[in-house]
Amino acid sequence: MSPAVNSPHVVNIEDLRRIAQQRVPKAVFDYLDGGAEAELTLLENCRAFREVIFRPRSAIAIGECTVSTRVLGHELSIPAMLAPVGYSRLMHPGGEVAAARAAGEAGTGYILSTISGHKLEDVKAGSKGPVWYQLYLLGGREAAEGALDRARRAGFSALVITVDTPVAGFRERDPRNGMTELLGTSVFAKIPYLPDLLAHPGWLASFLFDGGVPRLENVVTPGKGAMELVDIAAALADAVVTWEDLRWIREVWPGPIVVKGLLTGDDARRAVDEGAAAVVVSNHGGRQLDSVSATLRALPEVVAAVNGQVEVLMDGGVRRGSDIVKALCLGARAVLIGRAYAYGLAAAGQAGVARALQILRIDVERTLRLLGCPSVAALDRSYIGVPRSWCVP
């Protein structure tokens, strides 16, 4: 493990965030750290966890404490998987391969974004754990069919359909930092933004050594090859996924389908009716529609609506093991973590992701012991208190 992330001074995810902020250019850090518009939902996701209090059971000795769980039949060492995070290869050349490898080493799963710079076959081969593929309809159905066929043959065990991205959310930090210009081909347009890159020589050297801006290796349009990264905002605008598309996807993907990006009971029931094996309560980490509910607040409605028919996962704002425990108390089978591991990736590649997972695992076990609860499977509403203003069914 790299010394910086292994230092005794790195005790929580916020410490990894600080190291990431120093290592990568502001444009890359803000892309990772920021949210849509006024970033209200980004903040709310984290704040909601603070509003939930624990109700521990005291004077209980716990011998063995079980933090492992099962998600879609996979045994996971902790109730947290790595969420799809686009452009990971900009954060660190190891990108998606490094993150998937760290997840596998830690005994958990990884979800590969369509917006990925490494070939999906390499990502799968790099990990000992389960790997799922997250689909955007970038490049249309033909490109998607090609990716799904490759994913199936490589051994991806589930497909995640993200349904909260009819267009890309407006992340105001990105245009200010010149993200489009930096990813584009015009050297002239990059000039105003070069000081930011030059101020991070370590990152810049590894980025250039890695070949510069990566192509989207898993969005291959017949006759055109792998899509260029810079096309994304425009391509996403044509890539809305509808319930009708889900029917078509079910025909071309034989394995389980996970619908990610739901916030209401009605949408969750619709996903169940359309054949989803699991749903993810998610607002895309506050990066899409701003002012939507914090996901922790939306979770109980979805759990009640699906009534045990499918597994419910959630993501958004998870920065501590205690956050994971709170989500499980409100009915989630497991959480996905996005920024919590991406800060580690930006800080130190695979070692940083490993450190993030280690921190969270230790946190979850300690929290269970302090709560007087022997296993994550035994967590329920009785271990927490939620504010009266929350409508918890």
Residues annotated as catalytic are 284
83 binds ligand FNR, rule: CB under 6 A: yes
Q: Alpha-carbon distance 28 to 43, whole Å?
A: 20
Pick between residue 246 and residue 373 the one whose CB is nearest to ligand FNR.
Answer: 246
Quick one: which segment of 201-209, 229-237, 338-346, 374-382 binds ligand FNR (CB under 6 A)? 338-346
Min separation Cβ 116 and ligand FNR, Å: 8
Residues pairing with 225 in the sheet? 221
- Which one of 162, 177, 322, 350 is in contact with ligand FNR (CB under 6 A)? 162
318 touches ligand FNR (CB under 6 A) = yes
Which of the ranges 169-177, 216-224, 239-247, 333-341 carries the binding residues for ligand FNR, by CB under 6 A?
A: 333-341
Rounded Cα gap, residues 160 and 326, in angstroms: 24
In 116-168, the DSSP E strands lie at 131-135, 159-162
Which of 25, 84, 130, 349 binds ligand FNR (CB under 6 A)? It is: 84
Is residue 344 within the footprint of ligand FNR (CB under 6 A)?
no
Is residue 58 a contact partner of residue 86, using CB atoms and an 8 Å limit? no
Q: 227 and 55 in contact (C-beta within 8 Å)? A: no
Q: Which residue has the tokens 């490494």?
A: 118
DSSP per residue over 36-80, as a string?
Answer: STT-HHHHHHHHHHHH-EE----S---SS-B--EEETTEEESSSE
Contact call for residue 321 and ligand FNR (CB under 6 A): no
User: Is residue 247 exposed (0-12), middle (13-18) or buried (19+ Cβ within 10 Å)?
Assistant: exposed
Question: Is residue 123 a contact residue for ligand FNR (CB under 6 A)?
Answer: no
Site for ligand FNR in 227-266 (CB under 6 A): 260
Residue 315 CB, nearest approach to ligand FNR (Å): 4
Per CB under 6 A, the list member of 71, 85, 306, 354 interacting with ligand FNR is: 85
CA angle 132, 138, 141 (to 5 degrees): 85
- Residue pair 87/229 in contact by the 8 Å Cβ criterion: yes
Does position 134 bind ligand FNR by CB under 6 A? yes
- In the bound state, the residue with its beta carbon closest to ligand FNR is 338
Binding site for ligand FNR (CB under 6 A): 31-32, 45, 83-86, 113, 115, 134, 162, 260, 282, 284-285, 287, 315-318, 336-340, 342
